[in-house]
């Protein structure tokens, strides 16, 4: 037996878990509905690599805070025992199977989340569009001609389309926040070390990448972060623990925050006038809510930031490609890897120890400058994406770059604010606060100080209350299937 799709999709994860606990609906009903929903939305959006599974491949706790809630994982980094991982590359087309769960997967399961599918990602999660030779193009349920954005697009597509209430994602240059902006969702990139990458990694991409999730509501983001954050034995780093639960933070309305606002473009891609208007409207809303809003110039030079980021990128790509080729038993060649991946691989292989040391020194300089700027502000508000209507094909003519820096700049220039928070490790959050005239989401980016996710979530909850987005739904959505 299954629920009506409209009833199922009306819940966020918190609400669905409560309905299961209270006996309003059974976990079996929810599971059957989720399987059908994921299958139907995948047929329209191409968002699934493996699944949906009628029987969960790994069993969750039944008493977790999200007990019985369906969940999907992005097909890179976070993995479950016995479930193949392909990482969007032909080099692993048969799948890499692990004999255990990652620490984050264990925490997802302890929270009661029920794994129903793995979602699409570009090759090795190295692009700003969810396209690969392995799985094809993942579409945006709001408009199939507009990219769903970055490497967590499969997860974002299914959440936005109502197939699951939230999904795993990770972020090495914006891949939680970018698809959240494109799909009208909440996307938090936590502080560095807030969520463990163990046991497989001490850090990913030189500490630039971090694991977490995409949700529909701020309270779901807060509850999930409460469930999965924290040091795991053997981790290289640990984050300062929060002074209060993240859920408690969302129940308190902040006043008098010092908020910096800028809609200027950090890259050569101009900011759409509709996006500028959305940022200005956000500034007005924040003023009306009692905060001190100041228009500022961005404190960091983007092109210098990208130079440092590119070295870490190349270094990480070289290591990853080498390992993946060995595991897959394939040559490092165009037969198995994209031209853009190979350019970054070759650049990474050309780097020396001093190149890497100098890049880390520049990252430190950027991080210190950002921290100094943020000493005078509680958060900074910017557009998550510079443009609203970026087609799925916008990288088609650029997938064979001459240099690694050319590719990295192309990947990040539509979303230039995002990678700053990967380099600094500070938390950042996309909220789906505004819309364009044609109804497409416009994401607003909240940047914070290190380890202050609670403040960002508190502000995001206030904005969600003032300008709710729960009832906004894309044209491709499970509710229209009833």
Which of 402, 401, 457, 464 minimizes the C-alpha distance to 434?
464
Catalytic residue selected from 127, 152, 155, 175 = 175
pLDDT top residue among 298 and 35: 35
Q: Is 263 a catalytic residue?
A: no
**CATH number of the domain where residue 34 is located:** 3.90.1300.10
Q: Mean of the pLDDT values across residues 332-351? A: 98
Enter the pTM of the model: 0.98
b (16+ CB within 10 A) / e for 427-445: bbbbbbbbbbeeebbbbbb
Q: Is 372 a catalytic residue?
A: no
Q: Note whether 351 and 404 are within 8 A (CB).
A: no
Question: Where do the H-state alpha helices sit in 375-468?
Answer: 404-412, 418-424, 453-466
Q: Output 207-211 pairs: Cβ under 8 A, ≥24 positions apart.
A: 207/237, 207/425, 208/172, 208/173, 208/309, 208/312, 208/316, 208/419, 208/422, 208/423, 209/77, 209/170, 209/171, 209/172, 209/422, 210/170, 210/171, 210/172, 210/422, 211/77, 211/78, 211/104, 211/168, 211/170
pLDDT of 1 reads 67
As a whole number of Å, the CA-based R_g of the chain is: 21
pLDDT of 384 reads 98
Catalytic residue selected from 151, 191, 340, 404 = 151
In whole angstroms, give the CA distance from residue 77 to residue 124.
10
Q: How far apart are the first and last CA of the chain?
A: 15
In whole angstroms, give the CA distance from residue 20 to residue 72.
19
* Rounded alpha-carbon distances, angstroms, from residue 474 to 167, 215, 479: 17, 15, 10
Q: Is the pLDDT of residue 399 over 90?
A: no
In whole angstroms, give the CA distance from residue 166 to residue 149.
17
Q: pLDDT tens, 140-192?
A: 999 999 999 999 999 999 999 999 999 999 999 999 999 999 999 999 999 99
Q: Note whether 269 and 234 are within 8 A (CB).
A: no
- Average pLDDT of the chain to the nearest whole number: 97
367 φψ region: left (φ > 0), alpha (ψ -120 to 50), beta (else)? alpha
Q: How many domains does the chain have?
A: 1
Domain that holds residue 44: 5-480
The pLDDT-based confidence of 2 (bands split at 50, 70, 90) is confident
Q: Is the pLDDT of residue 128 over 70?
A: yes
CA angle 287, 288, 294 (to 5 degrees): 5
Q: Is 151 a catalytic residue?
A: yes
Phi, psi (degrees; rounded to nearest 5) at 4: -70, 140
């Amino acid at each position: 037996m299954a629920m009506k799709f409209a009833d199922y999709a009306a819940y966020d994860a918190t609400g669905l878990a409560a309905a299961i606990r209270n006996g309003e609906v059974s976990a079996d009903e929810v599971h059957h509905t989720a399987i059908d929903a994921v299958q139907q939305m995948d047929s329209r959006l191409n968002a699934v690599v493996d699944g949906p599974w009628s029987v969960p491949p790994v069993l969750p706790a039944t008493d977790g805070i999200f007990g019985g809630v369906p969940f999907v994982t992005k097909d890179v980094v976070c993995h479950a025992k016995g479930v193949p991982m392909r990482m969007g590359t032909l080099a692993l087309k048969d799948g890499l199977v692990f004999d255990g769960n990652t620490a984050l997967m264990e925490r997802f399961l302890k929270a009661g989340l029920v794994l129903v599918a793995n979602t699409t990602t570009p090759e090795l999660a190295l692009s700003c569009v969810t396209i690969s030779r392995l799985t094809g193009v993942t579409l945006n349920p709001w408009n199939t001609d507009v990219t769903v954005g970055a490497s967590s697009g499969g997860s974002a597509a299914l959440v936005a389309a109502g197939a699951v209430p939230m999904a795993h994602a990770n972020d090495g240059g914006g891949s939680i926040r970018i698809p959240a902006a494109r799909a009208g969702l909440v996307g938090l990139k936590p502080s560095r070390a807030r969520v463990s990458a163990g046991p497989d990694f001490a850090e990913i991409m030189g500490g630039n990448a971090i694991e977490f999730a995409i949700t529909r509501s701020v309270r779901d983001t807060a509850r999930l972060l409460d469930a999965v954050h924290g040091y795991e034995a053997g981790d290289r780093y640990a984050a300062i623990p929060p002074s209060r639960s993240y859920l408690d933070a969302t129940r308190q309305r902040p006043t008098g925050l010092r908020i910096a606002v800028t809609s200027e473009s950090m890259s050569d891609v101009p900011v759409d006038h509709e996006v500028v208007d959305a940022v200005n409207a956000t500034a007005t809303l924040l003023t009306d809510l009692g905060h001190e809003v100041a228009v500022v110039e961005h404190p960091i030079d983007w092109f210098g930031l990208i130079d440092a980021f590119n070295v870490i990128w190349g270094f990480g790509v070289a290591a990853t490609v080498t390992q993946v080729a060995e595991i897959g038993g394939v040559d490092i060649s165009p037969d198995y890897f994209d031209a853009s991946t190979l350019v970054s691989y070759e650049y990474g292989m050309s780097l020396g120890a001093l190149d890497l040391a100098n890049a880390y020194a520049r990252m430190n300089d950027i991080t210190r400058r950002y921290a100094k700027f943020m000493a005078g502000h509680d958060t900074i508000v910017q557009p998550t994406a510079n443009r609203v209507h970026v087609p799925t094909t916008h990288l088609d003519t650029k997938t064979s770059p001459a240099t690694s820096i050319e590719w990295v700049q192309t990947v990040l220039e539509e979303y230039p604010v995002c990678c700053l928070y990967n380099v600094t490790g500070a938390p950042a959050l996309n909220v789906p606060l505004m819309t364009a005239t044609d109804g497409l989401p416009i994401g607003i980016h909240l940047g914070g100080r290190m380890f202050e996710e609670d403040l960002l979530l508190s502000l995001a909850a206030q904005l969600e209350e003032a300008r709710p987005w729960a009832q906004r739904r894309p044209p491709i959505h499970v509710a229209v299937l009833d």
